[in-house]
Structure 1
Amino acid sequence: MHFSASAVAAATGGTVIGAEREIDGAGIDSRTIRPGQLFVPIVADRDGHDFIPQALDAGVRAYLTAQPTGATGEATAIAVDDTAVALADLGRAARARLTGAVIGVTGSVGKTSTKDLLAAVLSTTYVTAANERSFNNELGLPLTLLGAPDDTEAVVVEMGARGVGHIAVLCEIAHPTVGIVTRVEGVHLELFGDIEAVARAKGELVESLPDHGLAVLNADDERVAAMAPRTTAQVLRYAVDPVEPRDVDVYATDITLDDDLRAAFTLHTPWGSAPVHLAARGEHQVGNALAAAAAAGGSGVALDGIVTGLSAAAISGLRMELTTTPSGVVVLNDAYNANPTSMRAALAALARIDTPRRVAVLGVMGELGDNAAAEHRGVAEHARDLGVEVIAVNAPDYGSAASHVADVDGAVTALADLAAGDAVLVKGSRVAAMERVATALADR
């Protein structure tokens, strides 16, 4: 989205130092910043002001600063009191320019995949913008709004939370007109305390919606379904193969999974029914697709656009990536993140692969609080019940149902006897960086 330097200053209460300039979007990382963007130096573990020279070398000609310095060379500085606060203010200014739907997506699992599916569906009908990867916090959300093209008709913003009140802050910036809540699970309990606090936090999105808005709620999750009274907006409920379809608005029946782990089903909506074959892998993607279908249909996308978008949608990297190594080993790389729910979904997908041997190389599941040991043991025992061997990488909580190694090299050594046709799942929380195992296996 284009802003002049003076418009940036007006939105942030800042002062322009240097020539008037046009910016198009913004960035906070000098390594990925693009010419024409506004560089926003964030002060965190490292002071982003130290990287202004690198941003200028990358072609940036305007930047925010909270330091008592003037413009550098040919660049223009906008002096502000706090760069992070100024970024949020710029996000609000960008949101004020948007006239179409702004759709917020939250939930303990499935946010990013739902965002990806929804953006693909909306793009069949509207000029659509969505956050990159999982840019879902107080920095990523305003960057997404600022990155939307000037002619954007619909924006999808993923909303994460690390405590009660966080989503309310994001909603105050984005003012969503549509809100999706996928699931409420016992993740990040070290931060939330208990699952009821998770439900309160996720429901802040529903509470923020205007009277003319739309809430899309997962009827398969009782805590999500119970959020309906928290809004005066219209509510659409979705469910996977419900026992009583009359109790939901959007649902799937006749679900099958092909040899490439891609789901097909019959989609039922208030706007008609149609067969869908997902490009995304894993049966758990059916629920995410239903959420996307409900939000898109409620935003004016026709049924054929919904089907086309779902069938073509690609999912962000390190999520259910299925490859075969030169030696014939099948690798299912779902290493982006992990919690007990997503672990079971990935294990279910692995169990569907027709192979003589299935191995799950698992890293730690982070931020589970007091339930961490029990949750890890439960996942390992569930894998054993599915006939899946577990190799735990520096994660002793998986217990006696797993084999244990100290690091990635140990995991690769433990997999030395894999044969053609064997299948390996690689998964763990981001801190575990389990994609390194998949990379090591790629050339074998």
Structure 2
Amino acid sequence: MRFTASEVATATGGSLTGADVQIDGAGIDSRTIGSGQLFVPIVAERDGHDFIPQALSAGASAYLTSRPPLPDAAASAIEVDDTARALMAVGEAARGRLTGPVVGVTGSVGKTSTKDMLAQVLSTALRTHANERSFNNELGLPITLMGAPDDTEAVVVEMGARGVGHIAMLCDIAHPTVGVVTRVDGVHLEMFGSIGAIAQAKGELIASLPDDGLAVLNVDQDTVIAMAARTTADVIAYGLSPKADVHAEDISVDADLRPTFTLRSPWGSIEVAMSARGRHQVHNALAAASVAGGLGLSVEQIAEGLAGAAISGLRMELTRTDDGVAVLNDSYNANPTSMRAALEGLSGLTEGRKVAVVGVMAEIGDTARAEHLAITARARELGVEVIAVDAPDYGPDARHVADIDGAVTALSDLSAGDAVLVKGSRVAALERVAAALLAAPASR
């Protein structure tokens, strides 16, 4: 979205030094800043002000600063008290220019995949913009809004939270007209303290909706559907239950874990064949279908969008090695709910040997030991071997290795027809296991 430097100064209450240049989008990383963008130096473990020269060299046309402007820089500077708060202010200004629906998506599990699917579905009828990857916090959200092209007709933004009040703050920037809540689970309990606090935080999205807005809620979870009481907006309930307004029937999964199902909705029924992998993705597809139908898209457009929707990387990526081993890379993150879903996907993938290489499920609080043991027990029920990488909480029924090299060595006897799941929280970085398997020569 295009601004002038003076418009940015007005939105932030800042002071412009230099020419009133055109700005198109924003970024906080000097290594990836785009030509003509606004560079926003964030003060954290490292002070982003130190990287202003690099950002300007990379093509940034202006920058925010809470320091005096660089004396010898040709680019324009906007002096503000706090660069992060100023970025949020510019994000809100960008939101004010949007006239179409702005959809906020939150939940303990599934929000990124739902966002990805919804963006693809809406794009069958509307010029749609969505956040990249998981840009879902007070920095990523305004960057997403500023990055929307001027002719955007719909925006989809993912909303994450580290505590109660965070999503409310994001809603003050994005002013969503549609809100989606996928699930409330024991994820990030170390930060929230209780499931009740998680539900309170996620429900802030629904409480923010205008009277003429739309709330899309998972009817299969009581904690989510109860959020209907927090809004005067219209409510669409989705889920696997037949009592849902939008639900799925006759779900099946092919040999590559791609689901098909019959979509039942107030707007009609249609057969849907998904490109995303995993039976659990049907729930996310129903959320996307509910928003799209609520905004007036046809069931044909919904089915078309879901058929072409690719989800963000490191989520149920299925690749086969040269010697026929299936590698299911779901290493972006992990919690008990997503871990069970991935194990169930793995169990249906092959008749051969099935192995789950797992890392720690981080930030799940005092129940961490019990939750890890439960995952090992569930894997055994499904006939899946567990190799735990530097994660002792999986217990004595798992095979334990110290590091990535140990995991790769433990998989050296795989053969054609076997399958490996790789999954752990981001801190484990287990995508390196998948990369090593796929890079290995045939006939290990």
Note closer, same or farther for the CA distance 1:237–1:352 as it changes in structure 2 (3 Å cut).
Answer: same
Q: Contact conserved, 2:5 with 2:16, CA < 8 A, in 1?
A: yes
> Which letter maps to 1:295?
V
1:383 aligned to which of 379, 384, 406: 379
Q: Give the distance between the partners of 1:204 and 1:427, measured in 2 at CA.
A: 30
Cα shift at 1:355? 2.8
> Which letter maps to 2:135?
F
Q: Give the distance between the partners of 2:172 and 2:198, measured in 1 at CA.
A: 19
Q: How does 1:388-403 map to 2 (within 5 A)?
A: 388-403=384-399
> Which letter maps to 1:303?
V
Q: Corresponding residue for 2:285? A: 289
Q: Contact conserved, 1:168 with 1:208, CA < 8 A, in 2?
A: yes
Q: Corresponding residue for 1:124? A: 124
C-alpha deviations, 1:188-226, integer Å up to 9, x for none?
000000111111110000000000000000001110011
Q: Give the distance between the partners of 1:43 and 1:139, measured in 2 at CA.
A: 12
Q: Corresponding residue for 1:181? A: 181
Secondary structure of 1:209's counterpart equals: coil
Sequence identity, in percent?
70
Q: Contact conserved, 1:412 with 1:437, CA < 8 A, in 2?
A: yes
Q: Give the distance between the partners of 1:79 and 1:68, measured in 2 at CA.
A: 7
Q: Contact conserved, 1:33 with 1:39, CA < 8 A, in 2?
A: yes
Secondary structure of 1:45's counterpart equals: coil
Secondary structure of 2:120's counterpart equals: helix
Q: What is the TM-score of this pair, normalised by structure 1? A: 0.98
Q: Contact conserved, 1:177 with 1:209, CA < 8 A, in 2?
A: yes
> Which letter maps to 1:52?
I
Q: Contact conserved, 1:117 with 1:289, CA < 8 A, in 2?
A: yes
Q: Contact conserved, 2:22 with 2:61, CA < 8 A, in 1?
A: no
Q: Contact conserved, 1:326 with 1:443, CA < 8 A, in 2?
A: no
Q: Contact conserved, 2:17 with 2:69, CA < 8 A, in 1?
A: no
Q: Corresponding residue for 1:50? A: 50
Cα shift at 1:73? 2.7
Q: How does 1:99-110 map to 2 (within 5 A)?
A: 99-110=99-110
Q: Give the distance between the partners of 1:144 and 1:356, measured in 2 at CA.
A: 44
Q: Give the distance between the partners of 1:71 and 1:5, measured in 2 at CA.
A: 18
Q: Does 1:218 align with 2:214?
A: no
Structure 2: give runs of 5+ residues left out of the alignment: none
Q: Give the distance between the partners of 1:410 and 1:328, measured in 2 at CA.
A: 22
Q: Corresponding residue for 2:16? A: 16
Q: Corresponding residue for 2:310? A: 314
Q: Contact conserved, 1:71 with 1:77, CA < 8 A, in 2?
A: no
Secondary structure of 1:279's counterpart equals: coil
Greater shift, 148-157 or 68-77, is seen at 68-77
Q: Corresponding residue for 1:35? A: 35
Secondary structure of 1:217's counterpart equals: strand
C-alpha deviations, 1:375-395, integer Å up to 9, x for none?
000001100110000000000
Cα shift at 1:302? 1.6
Q: Corresponding residue for 2:369? A: 373
Q: Give the distance between the partners of 2:129 and 2:326, measured in 1 at CA.
A: 34
Cα shift at 1:354? 1.9
Q: Give the distance between the partners of 2:192 and 2:69, measured in 1 at CA.
A: 40
Cα shift at 1:327? 1.8
Q: Does 1:342 align with 2:338?
A: yes
Q: How does 1:19-418 map to 2 (within 5 A)?
A: 19-70=19-70, 72-240=72-240, 242=241, 245=242, 247-418=243-414
Secondary structure of 1:90's counterpart equals: helix
Q: Give the distance between the partners of 2:24 and 2:298, measured in 1 at CA.
A: 32
Q: Give the distance between the partners of 2:359 and 2:301, measured in 1 at CA.
A: 39
Q: Contact conserved, 1:426 with 1:437, CA < 8 A, in 2?
A: yes
> Which letter maps to 2:138?
E
C-alpha deviations, 1:262-319, integer Å up to 9, x for none?
0000001111000000000000000000000001111121211111001100000000
Q: What is the TM-score of this pair, normalised by structure 2? A: 0.98
Q: Corresponding residue for 1:428? A: 424
Q: Give the distance between the partners of 2:54 and 2:438, measured in 1 at CA.
A: 34
Q: How does 1:431-442 map to 2 (within 5 A)?
A: 431-442=427-438
Q: Give the distance between the partners of 1:11 and 1:258, measured in 2 at CA.
A: 51
Q: Contact conserved, 1:186 with 1:195, CA < 8 A, in 2?
A: yes
Secondary structure of 1:255's counterpart equals: strand
Q: Give the distance between the partners of 1:316 and 1:173, measured in 2 at CA.
A: 24
Q: Give the distance between the partners of 1:82 and 1:370, measured in 2 at CA.
A: 36
